[in-house]
Amino acid sequence: MNRQWLYAKPPAGKIGKDTFQWTETAIPQPRAGEVLVRTRMLSLDPANRAWMMGKTYRDALEPGQVMSGFVIGEVVESKAPGFAPGDIVEGDWGWQDYAAMPARKLTKRTADAPLEMLIGPLSVTGLTAYFGLLEVGQPKPGDTVLVSAAAGAVGSMVGQIAKIAGCRVVGTAGGQDKCDWLVRELGFDAAVDYKAGGVFRALRAVCPDGIDVYFDNTGGPVLDAALGLMNLKGRIACCGNVSQYDVEKPAPGPMAVPGLIVTKRIRMEGFIVMDFYDRRAEAEARLARWIAEGRIKAMVDIVDGLERAPEALIGLFEGTNRGKRAVRV
């Protein structure tokens, strides 16, 4: 059987287990040009929730469809040239055991790297951190770099890449334990618990020379505080807005935009990681080398069992993860 989670209905406010519906159906048969894939590792991303809010960089989720999500899987049967049983592939076939996928929607991956690396650090997560920081943020040695959701998948890699780039690195995260972990284990210079309140004052204390690059994963109060501390010609890389995904109605944007953007000549730029996929090989090779050399600790947070996918996603909005959260199927 093919076990699936369907997207059942739009949440009113926060997502809950009733946002999803479990079902079991027959394993699909691949047609000419298709490949039957079996899910091995399912990526849980804050964006999964944002896709419920309406059209984003992709179409909105429709109730009744299989819940979407990025997957690493294995080819079971191929009716397309270039794919053979046992190949490791990535694609967006969502929260289910099997899918018959058009071959053009699959990307072959190496069988040499562990699946835990292919689901995040050597894929979307690592590439987002790499291109968002280095290309959009453009850090220079000696800069102060602030990153929010710093103990999460993207944030934990951004901080470590910024250290490699010779920067002073500050993170924000929920809770003192996570903040201590960022400094002790991941080499951050300082970390601020945004849930403790007074985030502007706390950040000002640990960024005495201001902020040159802010890698924004959260929007919300941390963005407000960062804007006030940005240096002249600072760069804000807008990666995501996780503080506003799991809500009934997103809060209005910061009052300091555009005033501080003008007076401080700040460049605030959004990006989607796919924008950089023509340079994917180069970035993955560097990330793999930094991980192998121990310069980046690639943190993965594995939850076992497809049946636990809803709770694993809900947990992202409660901050229960450290590093890249994925479900092993």
- Residue ranges binding ligand NAP (CB under 6 A): 45-47, 124, 128, 149, 151-155, 173-174, 178, 217-218, 220, 239-243, 271-273, 316-317, 319, 321, 325
Q: Which ranges of the chain would DSSP assign to H, the alpha helix? A: 46-50, 115-118, 124-131, 153-164, 176-186, 199-206, 220-229, 259-263, 280-292, 309-316
Q: Which ranges of 81-121 would DSSP assign to H, the alpha helix? A: 115-118
- Taking the complex as a whole, the smallest distance from the CB of residue 155 to ligand NAP amounts, in Å, to 5
Q: Which one, of 274, 287, 303, lies nearest residue 41 by Cα?
A: 303
Kind of pairing between the strands at 98-102 and 34-43: antiparallel
By C-beta, is 103 or 239 nearer to ligand NAP? 239
- Taking the complex as a whole, the smallest distance from the CB of residue 131 to ligand NAP amounts, in Å, to 8
By C-beta, is 164 or 272 nearer to ligand NAP? 272
By C-beta, is 75 or 291 nearer to ligand NAP? 291
DSSP class of 189: S
By C-beta, is 15 or 167 nearer to ligand NAP? 15
- Taking the complex as a whole, the smallest distance from the CB of residue 36 to ligand NAP amounts, in Å, to 28
Angle subtended by helix axes 153-164 and 124-131, to nearest 10: 40
Contacting residues for 179 by C-beta, under 8 A, at least 6 apart: 151, 171, 173, 191, 192, 193
By C-beta, is 36 or 127 nearer to ligand NAP? 127
d(CA 218, CA 216): 6
- Taking the complex as a whole, the smallest distance from the CB of residue 176 to ligand NAP amounts, in Å, to 11
**DSSP string covering 249-274:** SPPPPPTTTTHHHHHTT-EEEE--GG
Q: Which amino acid is at 55?
A: K
By C-beta, is 19 or 243 nearer to ligand NAP? 243
By C-beta, is 103 or 236 nearer to ligand NAP? 236
- Taking the complex as a whole, the smallest distance from the CB of residue 219 to ligand NAP amounts, in Å, to 8
By C-beta, is 34 or 216 nearer to ligand NAP? 216
List beta partners, residue 89. Answer: 73, 108
DSSP class of 275: G
Output the CA–CA distances (angstroms, integers) from residue 123 to 64, 258, 298, in the order listed. Answer: 28, 34, 12
- Taking the complex as a whole, the smallest distance from the CB of residue 182 to ligand NAP amounts, in Å, to 10
- Taking the complex as a whole, the smallest distance from the CB of residue 142 to ligand NAP amounts, in Å, to 26
- Taking the complex as a whole, the smallest distance from the CB of residue 2 to ligand NAP amounts, in Å, to 26
